[in-house]
Chain A
Amino acid sequence: MRKHSLMDRVGLFGRAGIDIVSVLGRSTIFLFHALLGRGGIGGGFGLLLKQLHSVGVMSLVIIVVSGIFIGMVLALQGFSILSSYGSEQAVGQMVALTLLRELGPVVTALLFAGRAGSALTAEIGNMKSTEQLSSLEMIGVDPLKYIIAPRLWAGFISLPVLAMIFSVVGIWGGSWVAVDWLGVYDGSYWANMQNSVTFSGDVLNGIIKSIVFAFVVTWIAVFQGYDCEPTSEGISRATTKTVVYASLAVLGLDFILTALMFGDF
């Protein structure tokens, strides 16, 4: 074990701080060049379509399956808690509010980071390590426009759509458990839900959350791929970083957004 003097430690701390600031700066410039500047999405609509397919459509199965199960679990748990107060009719309201406000956007973003985010990082990292990005540059095509921008937009569009599908599937999954299995009256499941859920408050705020998450998760995933060390260890490290950073960012931002939206201050 090497001993560090106090000054060394202060120096290390300072260097870490500078590193963080420089990564932040680099990733912001990266985002700026990719989204703004000349030409928009290079290669146009076809590329975006391809990425929507690989980022959005390919994530659909995991989102739908998880959505159904989470809705069913929520209904089960809600029923067992609420029935001890004799208000099991409120189970629909509970399932819907939980999904729309929290679990829909958050769980979708976490699953998205694991499924699509890590794939994006690995794909771009691989392109970097096989010099495909360099080669694009030397052909005179900006990889930020041609490779990065379509992936960013595909992520921004896909995640909110996936989150909405997740919530809907969850609410229906909850209704199967509550109504068809546990015998809550069909009318009160939906009526209680409709009474308490507001479109502008709950549905829209949930969508806003998922848009913010989409932005952050895709940004992190794509930047980690672009910035990774172009070796196999570098790529696997970057993929891990994507999942860890994106999940932390989603959970942290969720707290801030929830406080702003539903905190009443």
Chain B
Amino acid sequence: MSADNAYAVELKGVSFKRGTRSIFNNVDIRIPRGKVTGIMGPSGCGKTTLLRLMGMQLRPSSGEVWVNDQNLPTLSRSDLFDARKHMGVLFQSGALFTDLDVFENVAFPLRVHTELPEEMIRDIVLLKLQAVGLRGAIDLMPDELSGGMKRRVALARAIALDPQILMYDEPFVGQDPIAMGVLVRLIRLLNDALGITSIVVSHDLAETASISDYLYVVGDGQVLGQGTPEELMNADNPRIRQFMTGDPDGPVPFHFPASDYRTDLLGKR
């Protein structure tokens, strides 16, 4: 049923306010099925918020969030939890359950959502851990892992239930070059091998552009541009250009809005 639709996730006219501050204003985003889509933008522009809107952990002030042909804001609390079984999220910190070891962390979604026998759970967990290259770390506790390893265990947990949609929240932040390379490869590999839809939210330009089939650039509560990485590199929009080339000053000013420097220095208080 859902496979007919070329888009796995569609945001239609979504606005989101925090208090009185508007974070997103009438945003339309469509995530093509089976591809890696990057969502980029400067820090603090609400990329993570966008991800949370897609998982309905935040409720939009207005607009529709269609995931697998279900409009999430209209679902009941329990239907929503069912819908989320088809989504996997890799959180920025990994978010492993600190009181469970690596094996139990990956086994957790299987235990709560399936009635599989213990041997089968073990096999699946080993399979997923093998995929992220951490089968040897099976007995370690989360606090014994490095940041990159945590993220990979979390990735194994996110794919434990074979989700249709996998979302990555800033997967490259704070990783050394090797861990970053491993993650980049894993994201692409999992997407192609499992045929899932991947959404990568990041401000790391080079890595995101290298694995994405399609890119969105967000800022100022709007979609500034979209297209394939090549299209965006050659875009005319000065804001996109600035972001893609990394200029310190431009449409996004170096200075936080302030009154005139001269009058501030010389003027009387």
List the interface of chain A (C-beta within 8 A of B). 33, 37-38, 42-43, 130-132, 134-135, 137-142, 146
Residue of B nearest to A135 (CB): B95
Q: How far is the CA of A61 from the CA of B98 in the complex (A)?
A: 26
A260 CA to B78 CA in the complex, in Å?
41
Stretch in B86-94, B208-216, B255-263 touching the partner: B86-94
- A135's contact among B77, B89, B113, by CB below 8 Å, is which? B89
B92 touches A139 (CB 8 A): no
Q: Would A132 and B98 be within 8 Å (CB), given that A137-B57, A138-B55, A138-B87 are in contact?
A: yes
Bound: A154/B83 CA distance, A: 30
Interface footprint category on B? 20 to 34
Contact assessment for A134 and B57 in the assembled complex, using a CB-CB cutoff below 8 Å: yes
Given contacts A131-B92, A131-B95, A134-B91, contact A140 B55 (CB under 8 A): no
Of A43, A132, A138, A140, most buried by chain B (CB within 10 Å of CB) is A138
User: Do A135 and B112 touch (CB < 8 A)?
Assistant: no
Is A138 a contact of B97 with CB atoms below 8 Å?
Answer: no
B13: CB under 8 A from chain A?
A: no
Q: List 10 A-B contacts (CB under 8 A).
A: A33-B77, A131-B95, A137-B57, A137-B84, A138-B84, A139-B109, A139-B157, A140-B112, A141-B81, A141-B112
* B82 located at the interface, meaning its Cβ lies under 8 Å from any Cβ of chain A in the complex: yes
Is A139 a contact partner of B108 (Cβ separation < 8 A)? yes
Distance in angstroms between the alpha carbons of A134 and B48 in the assembled complex? 12
Q: Which of B57, B85, B95, B113 contacts A132 (CB 8 A)?
A: B95
Whether B81 and A140, one on each chain, are in contact in the complex, defined by CB atoms closer than 8 angstroms, is: yes
Considering only CB atoms, which chain B residue lies closest to A144 in the complex? Answer: B77
Question: Is the pair A135, B91 in contact by a Cβ cutoff of 8 Å?
Answer: yes
Known: A134-B95, A135-B91, A140-B113. 17 other contacts (CB 8 A): A33-B77, A37-B78, A38-B78, A130-B95, A131-B92, A134-B52, A134-B57, A137-B55, A137-B57, A137-B81, A138-B55, A138-B88, A139-B113, A140-B85, A140-B109, A141-B81, A142-B77
